[in-house]
Amino acid sequence: MSMIELDPPGFQPPRPVAGDEGSRRTVLYGGYTVFSVFQPVFSVTHRRAIGYHASLRAHDENGRQVPSGEVFTQAARRGDLLELGRLAESLHLGNFNAFDSQDEWLFLSLHPAALMDTSYGDALLAGLKALGLPPQRVVLEVSEQAGGETTRFAEIIDAMRKSGFLIALDGFGVKHSNIDRVWNLRPDIVTLDRCILAQASEHSHIERVLPRLVSLLHESGQLVLMGGLSTEREALIALECNVDFVQGTYFAGPSVEPVKPQVAASAMDALSAALREQKAARERAQQDRLAPYIDALEQASGRLSAGEEPADATRALLALPEAARAFVLDGSGRQTGDNLLPSSSRASQRAKKFRPLLHSEGASWERRPYFIEALRAPGHVHVTPPYLSINEAHLCVTASIATETPRGTQVLCVDINWEVAAHR
């Protein structure tokens, strides 16, 4: 990293001016050359780049790269920040327009102060018009923390949208993010913050929840982008979450040139194949783990159908190591009798905290998938995905089977402690 020397007394650096470096537009400022780089944003479904995120790089007179932030810090000290910022934005537009592209978007990160400037939108539209670029080709990235909760900020975002720009809410999930921010600003795209990805990579329960967050955003009307992907593991998490767009050095880093079409296609195909194998291996492991419970549940159902009492019919089922409880529902989903517990069951500290939820006789489970699906296919075992058990507020899987008994249609269920199984 080169050091920036202090200017001698009375030194006045050149004002920031537009320049050229080969076929690229640049900005020249005080011995520095500032230029655009573009990192592609890929559509998982289309297997190609659908946009480019613009950012700045800088080098000194000797061609050595310097952090662009140092250039802007110097510009701020000298009162040239606004002028340099506008030239940099014009730089992005011009260099993007020179790409041999058709419909890709240009993603521009905006400082909140720029958006709050009433003349900003008009200046940006004028710059686009001069280049022949429609505003529909530009995605304005707004920080999730920008603008607070002010009505004025929401009005400015709405005006930009009405002018034709797409709006992306950047950094969702960091610090104090909340979903009502999405509902208020109604962005076209939501970019998940890198911290969510890091947490999902380290914690399995966050990885399980992440697809539901993406689904919630989809249902709210937003496309979802996950950026900062640098490893295959992170890319697989993104694909399994069903995000729409991905970005990161795993696919392609920032460059002054557009990405070659085959880069994304080959990467997506390889990831899809790896994800299919990962899911298949996970399903095989789950089937192996659940097989003893399914067999024991089918046998218990047969005994229940023959008229045995639930406590006797489920004795072998509850002897299995992770069986947390069994219970019986009538044809309307109402629980008949209390939970049946393993003979060796001892209440954990967590269970004691949730003691008001432990006794479930008369509880209605008619809206639960294990009841609904069991009635749809009597005689066949249905197994739920892992979910939070209301009985002890821990992760469990419920296996269920509907059968005809002397008491009418009944659904026999067993809760399997999935937190224990998952960590073995």
The residue extents of the domains of the chain are: 17-278, 284-422
What confidence score (pLDDT) does residue 59 get? 87
Whether the CB-CB separation of 394 and 350 falls below 8 Å is answered with yes
pLDDT digits (tens, 9 = 90+) for 10-69: 434 444 555 555 567 888 887 888 888 999 999 999 999 999 999 988 888 888 888 888
The pLDDT of residue 83 is 77
Tokens standing for residue 375: 């009635």
pLDDT value, residue 386: 87
CATH number of the domain at 284-422, please?
3.30.450.20
Identify whether the C-beta of residue 357 lies closer than 8 Å to the C-beta of residue 390: yes
pTM of the model: 0.79
Two structure tokens written together for 155: 């009005």
Measured from the Cβ of residue 98, the count of other Cβ atoms closer than 10 Å reads: 14
Residues 6+ positions from 319 with CB-CB distance below 8 Å: 342, 343
* CATH code of the domain occupying 17-278: 3.20.20.450
Residues of the chain under the 50 pLDDT cut? 1-15, 421-424
Which residues face 225 on adjacent strands? 191, 245
Please name which of 6, 28, 30 lies closest in space to residue 19, comparing C-alpha atoms: 28
Which bin fits 290, alpha (ψ -120 to 50), beta or left (φ > 0)? Answer: alpha
- What is the percent of the chain with per-residue pLDDT over 90, rounded to a whole number? 47
Indicate if the alpha-carbon torsion angle 174, 179, 184, 186 is positive or negative: positive
pLDDT at 424: 41
Q: Which residues pair with 89 in a beta bridge?
A: none
Per-residue pLDDT, 140: 93
